[in-house]
Amino acid sequence: MVNKHTIVLMQPSPNRASRTFMDYESVSQAIDGICGLYERKLKELNPAIRNITYDISDLYNFIDGLADLSALVYSPSVQAYLPYDREWIKGRTYQHLKKMAG
């Protein structure tokens, strides 16, 4: 999954107008982007706290709280984007953070 162009499709709220997308050069960068969204949200909610910490369950709750979240990952073998759901993103997030910590 290294260096596979990834498009993250997100709908933060039930309002269909909140649909958006972000694109990244790799799955890893996409996961960093999702973590960054959560970290910005935490800073927005806790402006007085300088160092905010969270664990994987907090991040999962954020992901589950989004109205919709999925990823399209480019597969050179079929020359198309393959769709992945929220659970796949959570699994990739866990692997990514574990690798960064270890």
Domain 6-101 CATH class label: alpha beta
Q: What are the strands, taking DSSP E only, across 1-102? A: 6-11, 20-24, 68-75, 80-84
Closest by alpha carbon to 69, among 39, 30, 95, 43? 30
Q: Residue 1 corresponds to which amino acid?
A: M
Rounded to two decimals, the pTM is: 0.90
> So what's the pLDDT on residue 42?
94
- Tens digits of residue pLDDT in 2-60: 689 999 999 999 999 999 999 999 999 999 999 999 999 999 999 998 888 899 999 99
Per-residue pLDDT band at 101 (split at 50, 70, 90): confident
**Cβ–Cβ under 8 Å, residues 12 and 18:** yes
- Tens digits of residue pLDDT in 47-96: 998 888 899 999 999 999 999 999 999 999 999 999 999 999 999 999 99
> So what's the pLDDT on residue 17?
97
Please provide the DSSP assignment of 4-21 as one string. --EEEEEE-SSSGGG-EE
